Structure 1
Amino acid sequence: MKYLEPVMVNVAVIYYSSTGTVAEIAGELAETAEKAGAEVRLRPVAELALRGAIESNPAWVAHMAATAGLTVATADDMVWADAVIFGTPARFGNVSSQLKQFIDTLGGLQAKGLLADKVYSGFTSATTAHGGHEATLLALYHSVHHFGGILVTPGYTDQVHDNPYGTSHDDAFGAAPVGEPTRAAARAQARRVVRFARALESVERR
């Protein structure tokens, strides 16, 4: 029986984070995807908020300073990726304007079919347990359907997940840092995304 080498896949983790919570989850996802054998790009999107709004929150200022040297997401990252994991804080049960603006720039790629047939998944964080986690992920996934993407969510396929739509975290207004339950959920989600992206890529290369 002939055994084939595992197929290499490209995973882009593209996210927006103001104070660092979503960034921490993004890092866990990226590290796990890399350990699972994927080539990974970890990319924040550009900040759009006014300086006055940023300076009103010390945690926001600190996070901006800590991540100032990171490479910002571009359309090329979407073309390169076999799988994309989007991350956003919940904004009134919706996608943050920063991540939405990035998605809104992808119309040209979508029109050419360059976003289709890729694996997509999402994760989020909100300040309270009922602060719009599921609504935010469902709103995010609207774009995936328009892309012609293949949505891979955690479901209840792993006992560490309590949100079938994607990894989510309740940061209790900054009082609850990202802990092991959220990290474990992120790891399970990343492994699932890589597994399905690899399976899809294997079929396409036959």
Structure 2
Amino acid sequence: MTTVYVVFYSLYGHVYRMAEEVVKGVKEVENVEVKLFQVPELMSNEQIEAAGAKEAKESFAHVPVIEPDMLAEADGIIFGTPTRYGNMASQMKNFLDQTGSLWMNGALVGKVGSVFASTATQHGGQETTLTSFHTVLFHHGMIVAGVPYSCGELMNMDEITGGAPYGATTLANTDGSRQPTENELAIARFQGKHVAGITKKLHS
């Protein structure tokens, strides 16, 4: 059985919502098992409450927290992160910084890696977050997959929408009030299915 992990960090729930759709996309591929995980939080409960994120965090508190060494169990890994000034969130970076032993042992070499993200604004660094995250995956020897233009939703010019050939994205607004649109969710599902299909072929 081919196994794909979806590993995310989310504060206000936008990346979690995208992760749910990525999981749905993976499930469309037969004989591929998918597991959803979140990375550890670095903020205190007091900081989360002060940021107005307590309710959102509680909505996905049931999702298990992954340990770095668990990445080696998967055949493909799809990571999700909010954007922080054009880069991944510190929680995700801290998690990846703990994968040194996996790197030393080549434990992720040949596995498929992919990334999706959320930004506050239309030009808030979604593409730099995705491509800079890819650098980490290349260092691990992973085979990086994005979202090809066979995903028709990438060509949507009728609305403001996230999505790039580097990965699915959503735009949350500066106050977090904007939720992922159907167009953005469709790209996320496509990414899940696309990565799962590649992973299955390579694993077999």
TM-score, normalized by the shorter chain, greater than 0.5:
yes
Q: Does 1:159 align with 2:152?
A: yes
Which residue number in structure 1 is paired with residue 84 of structure 2? Answer: 91
Which residue number in structure 1 is paired with residue 43 of structure 2? Answer: 49
Does the 8 Å contact 1:30/1:40 carry over to 2?
Answer: yes
SS in 1 for 2:110: coil
Matches within 5 A, 1:70-85: 70-85=63-78
Q: Runs in 1 of length 4+ with deviation above 4 angstroms? A: none
Count of aligned residue pairs for this structure pair: 194
1:55-114 CA-to-partner distances (Å, cap 9, x unmatched) read 1232x1112222223210112431111100010000000010101111111110111010
User: How many angstroms does 1:35 deviate by?
Assistant: 2.8
1:139-190 CA-to-partner distances (Å, cap 9, x unmatched) read 1111111000000111323111241110011111322111210110011111
Structure exhibiting the larger radius of gyration computed from Cα positions: 1
SS in 2 for 1:172: coil
Deviates more, 1:155-164 or 1:166-175: 155-164
Which residue number in structure 2 is paired with residue 181 of structure 1? Answer: 183
User: How many angstroms does 1:51 deviate by?
Assistant: 3.3
Identity of aligned residues (%): 35
TM-score w.r.t. the length of structure 2 is 0.91
Which residue number in structure 2 is paired with residue 172 of structure 1? Answer: 173
CA RMSD of aligned residues (A): 1.3
Which residue number in structure 2 is paired with residue 192 of structure 1? Answer: 194
Deviates more, 1:14-23 or 1:164-173: 164-173
TM-score w.r.t. the length of structure 1 is 0.90
Letter in 2 for 1:68: A
Does the 8 Å contact 1:41/1:77 carry over to 2?
Answer: no
Equivalent in 2, 8, 16 of residue 23 of structure 1? 16
Equivalent in 50, 56, 59 of residue 66 of structure 1? 59
Q: Which runs of 5+ in 1 are unaligned?
A: 1-7
